[in-house]
Structure 1
């Protein structure tokens, strides 16, 4: 299901047929460093991740992480979307892109479309979390007008994360 469209991108629900892309993305050095190893090594692991991650959240919340693909060629390049995490009061915007598509404005374009989608859903406030050393993500969040509000540690985790916030205007 298509969620949003920009000049260069389409954001849509993640499908089981995206399993090969998920294996690739979740094993990118940046994903492993800044998000963590989700143990996705096989197509079966990726399908389980899709079913129990994005697809389950779509059913539960009506939103989740969306696959970002380039209009030109329909090439999947990343994930960007809305996440409701345990331990966080507000909905979180998250994103991750293949390294060869970083620093080309795709993440900003997808995140702006995701912010608009959040407004359409009636979400009044978004947050974002990132590791303290993830400067590219912090820069993008600030470009989205999100402001550093402090630090948070998620349940069952020990790492303190930067927490950004943004009140959405309607």
Structure 2
């Protein structure tokens, strides 16, 4: 199901047919470094990740992480969307792209459209974002879409300190 469209991109629900792409994305060095190793090593693991993550969230909340594909050629290039984590009071925006599609404006284009969608269509008054302290690219992108740095945060059972950003309407 198509959720959003920008000048160059379509954001749509993930399906198990996207397993090969998810397998590639979740094993990108930048994903493992900044998001974490999800242990997705096979197509079956990738299908399970889609079923228990995004598809489950769509059915429970009506939103989740969306596949980002270029209109030209319908090429999948990343994911971007909204998540609801138990560890955060408000939904947060998340995004990740294959390294060959980074630094081409796709992150800004999809994240700004997702943030607007969250506020205007889903009526979310406050949307958060978290990123690793050393993930300077994501921090810059969050500031570029007008999210405000609020400080640092860490979660129970995880000593890593993260940057916390917020957007409020």
Corresponding residue number in structure 2 for 1:107 = 107
Corresponding residue number in structure 2 for 1:136 = 137
Unaligned runs of 5+ in 2: none
- Is the partner of 2:41 in helix, strand or coil? coil
Report the aligned-residue RMSD.
Answer: 0.7
Moved more, 110-119 or 137-146: 110-119
The offset of 1:76, in angstroms, is 0.2
Corresponding residue number in structure 1 for 2:74 = 74
The offset of 1:46, in angstroms, is 0.3
| TM-score of the two chains, using structure 2 as the length reference | 0.97
List aligned pairs for 1:11-22, cutoff 5 A: 11-22=11-22
1:119-164 CA-to-partner distances (Å, cap 9, x unmatched) read 2111111110000000000000000111110111123322111000
- Is the partner of 1:103 in helix, strand or coil? coil
The offset of 1:86, in angstroms, is 1.1
**Contact 1:86/1:154 (CA < 8 Å) preserved in 2?**
no
**Contact 1:86/1:155 (CA < 8 Å) preserved in 2?**
no
Corresponding residue number in structure 2 for 1:153 = 154
| TM-score of the two chains, using structure 1 as the length reference | 0.97
Unaligned runs of 5+ in 1: none
List aligned pairs for 1:21-170, cutoff 5 A: 21-119=21-119, 120-168=121-169
**Contact 1:153/1:159 (CA < 8 Å) preserved in 2?**
yes
Mapped partners of 1:91, 1:25: distance in 2:
22
Mapped partners of 1:164, 1:78: distance in 2:
21
